[in-house]
Amino acid sequence: MINGKILLVSLAVFSAVSFLAEDLCFGGMDNDGWKASPELVAKLTQRRSEANYDEQKVPGYTLPDPLLMSDGTKVSDARAWRDNRRPEVLELFRTHVYGRSPIERPKDMAFKVFELEQRALGGLAMRKQVAVTFTGKQDRPGMDILIYLPNDRKKPIPTFVILNFGGNHTIHADPAIKLSGSWMRPGSGIVNNHAAADYRGKASSRFPVEEILKRGYGLATIYYGDIDPDFHDGFKNGVHPAFDKLHEGKRSSDAWGSIGAWAWGLSRAMDYFETDADINHKCVIVLGHSRLGKTSLWAGARDERFAMVISNDSGCGGAALSRRQFGETVRRINTSFPHWFCENFRKYNGKEDDLPVDQHMLIALIAPRPVYVTSADQDLWADPHGEFLSCKHADPVYRLLGLDGLGVDRMPGLDRPIKTGTIGYHVRSGGHNLAEYDWRQFMDFADTHFVTSGRGKN
């Protein structure tokens, strides 16, 4: 077994410029902090022997310092972060991880509210459905935004925006929600890659719509496949072919992948919110689960109009530190999902230490805005501890900006959310999912930031 202390000393000696990632936590989580159950580790290891689920086998690593410019200059005030280091880190993520969007707001993009009901859900909410056509043409590419806003609102309402996996009609049984006609991954309720009507409301456990409305928030959701279908077709469908700039017929190695496209779509939804007087566009919270949690982090990092960012069980390429190589690794994700990231990211397959960034820097890009990260204790594939450590190592950037950051050093206990600082975190009991428990913490966290700041609610 590697001794954490020896490793700490040796890495500190070998790394003069970058700081040691952390105390590596070998055996360091015995003070009530969460740790994976040994039975679960054994079970998952047996199931997938190529993956590491054992904290003791995490390799030693040194994280890039978010407060150190590539030329070695130390970032010691908020201005240097804002003007120099933040743009540099953003550019590194564009170049090496998610890719570059060829365009931001397309000039011919059009919004059309195609359905509006003032007394939806038994009078609780106003429902709007908005068609966004990215090129202004009626045929695709485009996306439908489904929006519920509480009817007892007195002013524009803070709103969660979340991409969904199965079509807008799956988030609630409300029969007025347009049935998605987009391509769907095979699954229950899917016939010939298209949604069947009886699939309505099938994902409602992940969307406690009434509870969200009663707590004074709006909810906006979009089917992610409207923006880009989630399969590798060489970027021939979705928004890619509409906007890609090819060089000699080829995409560049830093061209946007699907996560980049989904995040871009969220920014286009933000463009719409800015035109909707019922939505408080200064209080839009971008939230996503799993691959869509990776997406919400990238959306929030690249578009500062999102006032708060939430990552639910996002794992590798999301909140989890890549260098830990715990659960899903860079090689694994690039192999299973070759369309999610830019081509350059593949250079780091098995070479995580060469990455000029790690995922704590993605969280840091969200500063000074509040960010909340979750893990689930059965979801070792997403590396709960690595997700917590990203928050911890983003904390110095928040502090430099005069904020309280995460405020703790050690992983909290199971179901013990940390939600009083500007970085929130919890590890929930249960599996890879977006649960009502998660939503409650998000709304508490949003209450803290939007109510106390006087920016938000009624």
The rounded distance, in Å, linking the Cα atoms of 406 and 421 is 6
Contact assessment for residue 407 and residue 418, using Cβ atoms and an 8 Å cutoff: yes
Point out the catalytic residue in the list 101, 180, 182, 290: 290
Tell me: cis bond preceding 141? Omega within 30 of 0 counts: yes
324 binds ligand GTR (CB under 6 A): no
67-106 binders of ligand GTR (CB under 6 A): none
Residue whose CB is less far from ligand GTR, 330 or 363: 330
Q: Is 418 in the site for ligand GTR (CB under 6 A)?
A: no
CA distance 356 to 65: 10
Q: Which is nearer to ligand GTR, 143 or 319 (CB)?
A: 319
Distance in Å, CB of 375 to ligand GTR, minimum: 13
Q: Which of 194, 252, 267, 432 is catalytic?
A: 432
Q: How far is CA 102 from CA 251, 252, 260, 448, in A?
A: 11, 11, 10, 37
291 binds ligand GTR (CB under 6 A): yes
Q: Confirm whether 258 is a catalytic residue.
A: no
| Least distance in angstroms from the C-beta of 333 to ligand GTR | 6
Residues ≥6 apart with Cβ < 8 Å to 50: none
295 contacts ligand GTR (rule: CB under 6 A): no
* CB-nearer residue toward ligand GTR: 341 or 398: 341
Q: 286 - beta bridge partners?
A: 161, 309
- How many chain residues are in contact with ligand GTR, going by CB under 6 A? 6
CB under 8 Å to 6, separation ≥6 — which residues?
none
Nearer to ligand GTR, 193 or 433 (CB): 433
* Smallest separation, CB 108 to ligand GTR (Å): 32
Q: Which is nearer to ligand GTR, 394 or 434 (CB)?
A: 434
x-marked contacts with ligand GTR along 301-320 as a string, rule CB under 6 A:
--------------xx----
Q: How far is the CB of 17 from ligand GTR (least distance, A)?
A: 31
Binder among 333, 427, 443, 446 for ligand GTR (CB under 6 A): 333
The correct pick among 168, 290, 312, 322 for binding ligand GTR (CB under 6 A) is 290
**Which pair of tokens denotes residue 314?**
């996002």
Residue 231: phi, psi to the nearest 5?
Answer: -150, 160
Nearest CA to 98 out of 259, 226, 307 is that of 259
Nearer to ligand GTR, 182 or 290 (CB): 290
**How near is the Cβ of 337 to ligand GTR at its closest, in Å?**
7
Contact flag: residue 328 with ligand GTR (CB under 6 A)? yes
Q: Give least dist CB 425 to ligand GTR, A.
A: 19
Contact 298, 362 (CB under 8 A): yes
Nearest to 319 by CA among 347, 296, 350: 296
* DSSP bridge partners of 221: 146, 162
290 is an active site residue = yes
Closest to ligand GTR by CB, 133 vs 221, is: 221
Indicate the residue among 75 and 330 with the shorter CB distance to ligand GTR.
Answer: 330
Q: Contact residues for ligand GTR (CB under 6 A)?
A: 290-291, 315-316, 328, 333
Active site residues: 290, 432
